[in-house]
Structure 1
Amino acid sequence: MLHVQRTHPALPDGEAFLVVQAEAARTRWSLFTVLGAPLARQTLEDGRWRNDGFAPPNASATRLFAALVFAWTPEADLAERYRQDRYTVVTGRRTLSHKNGKPLIVADSKEQLSVELPDGSTWVLRPLEQVR
């Protein structure tokens, strides 16, 4: 389980918990408020996102989940999943270019993972045991 903090220039800051479960042929992604209410529940199977359960569609959560797939893809596998002219990898930092010109930026350290999305939001993820 990960603790998630979101900041966005036009929205109030938010906190949530993220659970990612590997299943046989898919992964299940669940984002919850700190009180346990679902914000988003989706599955990724064969490269397609599907809503899971009764949580309404949540576009910002889908963007975060897709960014995490990019962040967690082993470097050796990036070329098969992403066009080589669209991403760069430098120690601790990955960038993925988008059509609109604003890149997705992922910075990884031992303590946290920071994701800057093209919509201007920044998400910081930490393992729950590191949250104080």
Structure 2
Amino acid sequence: MAVEVGSVLEGKVTGITHFGAFVELPDGVTGLVHISEIADTYVRDVRDYLTENQVVKVKVINVSDGRVGLSIRQVYGPPQRSGGRGARGRGSSFEEKLQRFMKESEQRQQDLRRSMDSKRGGRGTRRG
């Protein structure tokens, strides 16, 4: 079976490093699953997700100079969210997130100003 970009194969984890995991594919070809391609969430330690000799499904994402790049997270696609918004099904848009961030940021700044003013004795008052 030829290793082609886009194909999904099953392989065995043969080694784990701080930057990813080596997976042996059919026909004895070995590829690397980079730490960023293990899960859709932040991966601090590869060993939290994989163990040696574990059988995993991987997607071939690149082949160059005899090196095979693999992905586990791309096999399953992006996580599905429940309660999607209409046909888009993506949750909130960038504009909505930005608007919410700006509102929360302004609220935090107001709270900080009030806190600082109360520590100084309020606006316009002088100690003396």
The TM-score, its normalising length taken from structure 1, stands at 0.23
More helix as a share of residues: 2
Larger strand proportion, structure 1 or 2? 1
Higher Rg: 2
